Amino acid sequence: MMTTLHPTTQLNDRAQIVLSIEIKDLSQTITQLVQQGIHFTINYSPMPEKYMERADVGCESLGIEPIFQDDSNLKYVFMQKIDQVIQKSISAGTTPLIQEVAKATEMKCSRVKVKLMELTGKTFYQYYLIVKMEYAAKLLKTGYRASQVSEKIGYNQPIKFNKMFQKYYGMTPYRYRKQHESD
């Protein structure tokens, strides 16, 4: 078993040791760590392409499912980044720009639009409005008045917020708040 030990660093009251392990020895090493009750994390660094033809042992032969067997985890990360940009802009009372999402996801604007449409069936602006209205509903449920919510989520005119909320939920913010007071 080829194992390379890298220098340790002190993290709080625990030491961190970095081991470089050949893939063929990974299963045995993990088993030993688990049996000894040692806390560990695995960071994978792919081999340079010039060595790939020699990598004849894969995850499946170890009985380990590849992390990105399907790209559901990547989809989650993509949507999480979009949500973070939208939530940040809602908190600031501004409208998010597709360019901000493109920067956060490290994609071109056109690719973000296509990917979002594939995942949600919505345009960026439609998705943004959904998140915004759901946030407004949450605020109403916690006791905020419609005028307060309107201002908090970036509407300069409460009537515009009322119309958008009614279009989305089928009732006025006031009625929604009264209906959910006991929740």
Shared domain for 49 and 82, answered yes or no, is no
- Strands (E) in the chain, as ranges, are 3-5, 9-11, 14-16, 19-21
Shared domain for 44 and 76, answered yes or no, is no
Instruction: Indicate whether 67 belongs to any domain.
Output: no
Shared domain for 76 and 58, answered yes or no, is no
pLDDT at 118 over 70: yes
Please say which residue of 37, 62, 87 terminates a domain: 62
Q: Which pLDDT belongs to residue 77? A: 86
Rg (CA), the chain: 25
Q: Which pLDDT belongs to residue 75? A: 83
Instruction: Indicate whether 54 belongs to any domain.
Output: yes
Please say which residue of 33, 62, 91 terminates a domain: 62
Q: Which of 30-34, 38-42, 155-159 has the lowest mean pLDDT?
A: 38-42
Shared domain for 37 and 98, answered yes or no, is no
Shared domain for 40 and 84, answered yes or no, is no
Shared domain for 172 and 94, answered yes or no, is yes
- Answer yes or no: pTM beyond 0.85: no
How many structural domains does the chain have? 2
- The CATH number of whichever domain residue 155 belongs to comes to 1.10.10.60
Pair of tokens at residue 66: 């590849």
Shared domain for 50 and 134, answered yes or no, is no
Shared domain for 36 and 86, answered yes or no, is no
Q: Domain range holding 142? A: 72-179
Query: Rounded to whole angstroms, how far apart are CA atoms 135 and 153?
Result: 8
**Which is nearest to 131 in space by CA: 86, 95, 168, 89?**
86
Shared domain for 49 and 80, answered yes or no, is no
Instruction: Indicate whether 150 belongs to any domain.
Output: yes
Shared domain for 140 and 168, answered yes or no, is yes
Do residues 141 and 178 lie in contact, with contact meaning Cβ atoms separated by under 8 Å? no
Query: Rounded to whole angstroms, how far apart are CA atoms 90 and 77?
Result: 20
Please say which residue of 35, 62, 89 terminates a domain: 62
Instruction: Indicate whether 125 belongs to any domain.
Output: yes
Shared domain for 142 and 95, answered yes or no, is yes
Shared domain for 132 and 169, answered yes or no, is yes
47-94 per-position pLDDT tens digit: 444 333 333 333 333 333 333 334 567 788 888 899 999 989 988 888
pLDDT at 125 over 90: yes
